[in-house]
Amino acid sequence: MDNASHQFFRSLLGAPGPSGFEAAPARLWRDEAARFADAVSADVSGNSFATLSGQAGAPSVMFAGHIDEIGLMVVHIDDDGFLWFDTIGGWDDQVFVGQRVILLGRTGPVMGVIGKKAIHLMEKEDRDKPSKVKDLWIDIGARNQAEAAERIRVGDAGVLDSGILEFPNGRVVSRSIDNRIGAFVVLEALRLLARDRPTATVTAVATAQEEIAYTGGGARTSATGLAPTVAIVVDVTHATDTPGVEKKRHGSIALGGGPVLSRGSSLNPKVMDLLAEVAETEKIPYAWHAAPKYTATDADAIFTSFKGVATGLVSVPNRYMHSPNEMVVLDDLDRAAALLAGFARRVSTGVDFIP
In this predicted model, what pLDDT tens digit does every residue of 232-269 receive, in sequence order?
999 999 999 999 999 988 999 999 999 999 999 899 99
Active-site residue (options: 210, 211, 246, 277): 210
Q: Is 249 exposed, middle or buried (0-12, 13-18, 19+ CB in 10 A)?
A: exposed
Q: For residues 157-181, give the mean pLDDT.
A: 96
Nearest to 341 by CA among 182, 185, 193: 193
Residue 229's pLDDT is 97
pLDDT digits (tens, 9 = 90+) for 109-135: 999 999 987 777 677 777 788 889 999
β-strand partners of 52: 202
Q: For residues 208-216, give the mean pLDDT.
A: 90
H-helix or E-strand containing 251? none
Q: For residues 198-212, give the mean pLDDT.
A: 97
126-130 own/partner pairs: CB under 8 Å, 24+ apart: 130/93, 130/94
Under 8 Å between Cβ of 347 and 229: yes
**Position 84 pLDDT exceeds 90:** yes
Q: For residues 9-38, give the mean pLDDT.
A: 97
Q: For residues 283-294, give the mean pLDDT.
A: 95
Question: Is 210 marked active-site?
Answer: yes
Q: For residues 143-167, give the mean pLDDT.
A: 97
Query: Could you say which DSSP state residue 131 is in?
Result: P
Q: For residues 153-177, give the mean pLDDT.
A: 97
Q: Is 236 exposed, middle or buried (0-12, 13-18, 19+ CB in 10 A)?
A: buried
Please report, rounded to a whole number, the percentage of residues in the chain having pLDDT higher than 90: 89
d(CA 5, CA 1): 6
Q: For residues 34-49, give the mean pLDDT.
A: 97
Query: Could you say which DSSP state residue 89 is in?
Result: S
d(CA 232, CA 57): 20
Sign of the CA dihedral running 99, 105, 108, 110? negative
Residue 121's pLDDT is 65
Under 8 Å between Cβ of 349 and 59: yes
Confidence of residue 333 (pLDDT cuts 50, 70, 90): very high
Contacts of 173 (CB under 8 A, 6+ apart): 164, 165, 166, 167, 325, 326, 327
Under 8 Å between Cβ of 106 and 165: no
- Domains of the chain, CATH where assigned: 3-69+175-345 (3.40.630.10), 72-160 (2.40.30.40)
Helices (H) and strands (E) in the chain, counts: 9, 17
Model's pTM, two decimal places? 0.95
Residue 224 has a CB neighbour count (10 Å cut-off) of 15
Residue 319's pLDDT is 98
82-87 own/partner pairs: CB under 8 Å, 24+ apart: 82/115, 82/137, 82/138, 82/139, 82/142, 82/148, 83/112, 83/137, 83/138, 83/139, 83/140, 83/148, 83/152, 84/137, 84/138, 85/133, 85/136, 85/137, 85/138, 85/158, 86/133, 87/133
Please report, rounded to a whole number, the percentage of residues in the chain having pLDDT higher than 70: 100
Q: For residues 174-183, give the mean pLDDT.
A: 97
Residue 118's pLDDT is 76
Look at 154-158, 172-176, 211-215, 305-309 and tell me which has the smallest mean pLDDT: 211-215
